[in-house]
Amino acid sequence: MLFVIIFFLPIVFTLSYFIWWLIYRKAFKSQKKISKFLVFIGGIGLIIFFYTPYSYNLQPSYHEFKEICKLDPEIYQSNGGKIDEEYYNKVLKYFDTDLDNMSNVRTLRISDDKKHFSYWFEKWIGDRIDFTFVLWFKDERATKDNIKKASLWVWWDQKRPIPLGNEGVGLYWGNTPINCGYFK
């Protein structure tokens, strides 16, 4: 963690210096020396901007991700919702189907040992939200009354580059997607 901080701060302050340099030299055609205080304040501003909660106008996909996460069974029930036909239809609406017509859209998946029966729905919303919903059944009768449990996985790619890696693979720029556990 200390390495990340030591690696991250020079990048932030260099970027801050470059931004102030552009403002001073290019925008105002000034030859004044750039104040270290302004570079420091600019660096702090960049750090705060990087960790600021997502604005609706800057990240509309985040707010759509947040709305989908409200349909996670644990979150839905903690907010007073009940897992019933209405809930299943709310989720299946994202996949352009409902409980009555899902067999027309997907085929029932049966495990090799014939113990697990499921309908598996997957969808990318835009290029940032990965949405998977699975309905598990008690046996091969895929009816409303035979649902054993529902699983929902949603991942949002925040597209914020951070230094990742370890001793074996080296350091590289990557990002860390977040899931609905972020709101629990």
- The tokens for 63 are 């707010």
Tokens of 112: 């090799």
The per-residue DSSP string of 10-34 comes to: HHHHHHHHHHHHIIIIIIS---PPP
What's the helix, strand, coil split of the chain in %, to 5? 45, 25, 35
pLDDT in tens, 41-63: 888 887 777 666 666 666 788 88
Confidence of residue 155 (pLDDT cuts 50, 70, 90): very high
Q: In the chain, what percentage of residues exceed pLDDT 90? A: 27
Q: Residue 43: which H helix or E strand, with range?
A: helix 36-51
* CA 23 – CA 28 distance, rounded (Å): 7
- pLDDT value of residue 110: 78
Nearest one of 162, 177, 151, 184 to 62, comparing CA atoms: 177
80-134 pLDDT tens trace: 999 999 999 999 999 998 888 887 777 778 777 777 888 899 999 988 899 999 9
Cβ contacts of 176 within 8 Å, gap of 6 or more: 158, 160, 162, 164
The pLDDT mean for the chain works out to 83
